[in-house]
Amino acid sequence: SLSPSSSLSLSLSLLFDLIQYCPNPTRPSILTGKMDACIKLYVDQLESAHNRSNDLGRDVRVWIQGDVVDVRQTEMQTTAMIDDGSGIVVLDCTELYKVYDKYKDNWRLTKGMYVMAQGILGKDSDQRLHVICTKVADLSSNPDRMAMWMCEVVDADRFKDR
């Protein structure tokens, strides 16, 4: 079966030349207090993006969307897993939730939500990819969320050279 990105001839090196302005639909990053620049990608493109960021010697900020398939919270860490149809990636929400707690914001991810997540792409000690979240928003109430997301990623690729 084909992944959503297999029909695209995305050149990740060119995508890095176009760092898109990706505003959160509800609020700026609670960690940085500003709108972060990021690249819209499918989960199956994250490994290439991480490799490219290492080549460039800088962190890469990504915007991904998908269904929350698991949420785990301990005293030390909060993680969630999202599936966008091309793969599954771990979201590290630990620092984001600490800020939420500081401001008495009790919003939390739950299994079954369709979310957008923005953050810094990294690898954990076991060399597994994860996104250290700076923004998360629940898009579950948008009936066209998946179709719109596919269009947004295609548009990001189409207009990367302009």
Q: What is the per-residue pLDDT across 58-67, written as a single tens digit (0 to 9) for each?
A: 778 899 999 9
Q: Which pLDDT does position 57 carry in this prediction?
A: 65
Nearest to 129 by CA among 13, 5, 21, 45: 45
Choices 3.30.1130.10, 1.10.8.10, 3.30.540.10, 2.40.50.140: CATH for 15-156: 2.40.50.140
70, two tokens: 């698991």
Report residue 1's pLDDT band, with 50, 70 and 90 as the boundaries: very low
Give the separation between CA 11 and CA 13, rounded to whole angstroms: 5
Q: What is the per-residue pLDDT across 96-143, written as a single tens digit (0 to 9) for each?
A: 888 888 887 788 899 999 999 999 998 888 889 999 999 999 999 988
Q: Which pLDDT does position 123 carry in this prediction?
A: 86
Say if residue 22's pLDDT is above 70. no
* Mean pLDDT rounded to a whole number for the chain: 77
77, two tokens: 């860490």
134, two tokens: 């700076």
Q: 160: which DSSP letter?
A: T
Say if residue 19's pLDDT is above 80. no
Give the separation between CA 14 and CA 161, rounded to whole angstroms: 8
